Amino acid sequence: MALVQVNYLSKALFRTVPVNVIIPSDKISFETMNYVEAPEGGYPTLYLLHGLLGNYTDWVSGTRIQRWAEDAGLAVVMPSGDNAFYVNGLAANNDYGTFIGEELPQVMRAMFPLSRRREDTFIAGLSMGGFGAIRNGMKYAETFSRIAGLSAGIHFFDPGFTSLAGEESVFGDLAEAAKTDKNHHVVLERLKERVAAGEVEAPEFYLACGTQDSLMGANRSFLADVEAAGFEVTWDEEDRGHDWDFWDSQIKKVIDWLPLGQAEGGMGSGNVSKDR
């Protein structure tokens, strides 16, 4: 399993940005003792977003994503979203929505042997990243075929919401932002219209939250909205809180849920047993 740190000049953010990329390209075949080639058309790819206060290293340090991606033959792209909620901000050169939904897939596909097919391209995230995955997965549904939100922070536009991290600096006035496509509810309605018009295929959803998490109510409410919109959605909950134990457990379930097929076996740095 190759873990690569990329630093590249982002057009959307107008600065050099860091990205961690997991590429299952260093497996050695037990039969030939040569490297296993990338699948025809490139690796299926998961764009994986961190939460508030985090960065591009979180998923690798907090979960076993590297091992499970290798086993599944899945590439994983983990950018830094700062505390910007993965939407285009008010200030110049802070177009995080464009960065995630348009630029990052384009740049990563140019750098690595990743599939360009929608059916092989997925997005997921935790907490703030869960919001980013849901909002951008729906907005850019022509790119992402599956969307996973884990403990998603999808409560910003709920009545009585109390700011935690200066959300207004990103969204502006929340009452006004609620009318725009920064609001995931607005994007869901637009997605429903686009699917009905035949403009885009419907993505599939995976939503999960811990029963001890204060975000459970918001996540269950969004689950009902997705079901009412007629989209296919898988729901899961565990007796956990807003923590890495839950996200470590859930990211394995997300990978199992993705339509990946059987990855070609081989020997990697974490797997020297043919029987594993």
Residue-wise pLDDT for 113-160, tens only, equals: 999 999 999 999 999 999 999 999 999 999 999 999 999 999 877 776
Which residue type, as a one-letter code, is found at position 44? P
The rounded distance, in Å, linking the Cα atoms of 165 and 162 is: 10
Confidence of residue 16 (pLDDT cuts 50, 70, 90): very high
Which residue type, as a one-letter code, is found at position 58? D
pLDDT tens-digit series, residues 216-239? 999 999 999 999 999 999 999 999
Lowest-pLDDT range of 31-35, 88-92, 125-129, 133-137: 31-35
Q: Which CATH class is domain 2-257?
A: alpha beta
Query: According to the model, what pLDDT value does residue 272 have?
Result: 41
Q: Which residues contact 35 (CB under 8 A, 6 or more apart)?
A: 25, 26, 27, 28, 29
Greater pLDDT, 204 or 263: 204
Greater pLDDT, 186 or 169: 186
Residue whose C-alpha is closest to residue 131's, from 101, 104, 103, 151:
151
Greater pLDDT, 24 or 122: 122
Whether the predicted pLDDT of 274 surpasses 80: no
Confidence of residue 76 (pLDDT cuts 50, 70, 90): very high
Whether the predicted pLDDT of 27 surpasses 80: no
Domain boundaries, the chain: 2-257
What pTM was computed for the model? 0.93
Q: Which residues contact 193 (CB under 8 A, 6 or more apart)?
A: none
Confidence of residue 210 (pLDDT cuts 50, 70, 90): very high
